Every structure is written in structure tokens, then in C-alpha cells.
Amino acid sequence: MTNVLMNEIALHQAIQKLKDENLDLLSTGTMRPSNHHELLSSQSMRDVLAECKDNYDLVIVDSPPLIAVTDSIVLSALVDGVCLVIRSGKTRMQMIRKAKKLLESSRSRIVGVILNDIDLKSVYGNWYYKNYYYYQLNNDQKDKSR
């Protein structure tokens, strides 16, 4: 991304096509400029996002933790919506509220929340695993009989 924003490489050259997947990737790039905040809020960034939006069905922009740096707030103003990612058992409610408030104050559109790293055993106990396994086993047997 930084190499594209600094006009060192064209967008189509920077995009990596992943084998056996219907997925392309644009990594952060090899450069770590000191003015990354300015690059993210630049017209070049808007142009890159617009070109991606024109060429793809869905564009997902991953960013650093919201509270740690301002990059995420800058990016949130350039995208259609923001999905807040919360790590189960690690992210404190105080930080979640602060992140939500930051996004709302920047007029970002929060479209969802992803709760990751959930320990399903602690939530559902062994019942979940037994029934999930049973369900998978039954579906696998049905597929073999076809």
C-alpha cells in the first residue's frame, strides 16, 4: 500500500493474487514512511480505495487497534463501514466503549462487531462439541451415500 501511495508501483502490480482462492491481497508495503498519517488521509488513498471498490465486490481494510494509533480513525472516514473486532476475555469493556465513542465522534458508520477468540467450551460446555461432532458426522455420512 505505501509503495502505491508513494507512486513507486502501480496498484495492479502491488496486488497479490492468492492461489486457489477467490481473494486478492494488498499488503502494507515495504516502506514505513514517517508521514503515514498524511498518506492515509491523502487523495492518493482515496483514489486507491475508489479503484478497489470499482474492481472488487468487497474491499476489507484491516487497520491497527483503534485506541493505539490514529490510523484507524483516518481510515474509518474513507470507508463505507467499520467492523469493530473485540477479543473475547481480553478486551475490556472500558476500551470497547472508548472505541465506540471515538468512531461515533468521527461520524464513522459502525456496521458490526466481531467477537473473536471465544472459548466455546467455557460458554457451551461439552454439549456443543458433542453435538457439533454428531452433526458433522451425520452430514459426512449423507454426502457419502449420494
Q: In this model, does residue 126 exceed pLDDT 80?
A: no
Task: Please state the rounded mean pLDDT for residues 122-136.
Answer: 55
Q: In this model, does residue 138 exceed pLDDT 80?
A: no
Cα 132 to Cα 111: distance, rounded to the nearest angstrom:
29
Cα 139 to Cα 84: distance, rounded to the nearest angstrom:
34
The band of 131, judged by pLDDT with boundaries at 50, 70 and 90, is low
Mean pLDDT, all residues of the chain:
84
Q: What residue spans of the chain are helical by DSSP H?
A: 2-5, 11-14, 36-40, 43-55, 71-76, 93-105, 120-124, 126-145
Task: Please state the rounded mean pLDDT for residues 72-93.
Answer: 92
The band of 136, judged by pLDDT with boundaries at 50, 70 and 90, is very low
Q: In this model, does residue 29 exceed pLDDT 50?
A: yes
Q: In 3-state terms, what secondary structure has residue 112?
A: strand
Query: Quick one: which of 40, 32, 100 has its CA closest to 70?
Result: 40
**41-71 pLDDT per residue, tens:** 999 999 999 999 999 999 999 998 888 888 8
Burial class of residue 138 in the structure, from the number of CB atoms within 10 Å of its CB (0-12 exposed, 13-18 middle, 19+ buried): exposed
- Name residue 41's beta-bridge partners: none
In this prediction, residue 35 carries a pLDDT of 76
The band of 21, judged by pLDDT with boundaries at 50, 70 and 90, is confident
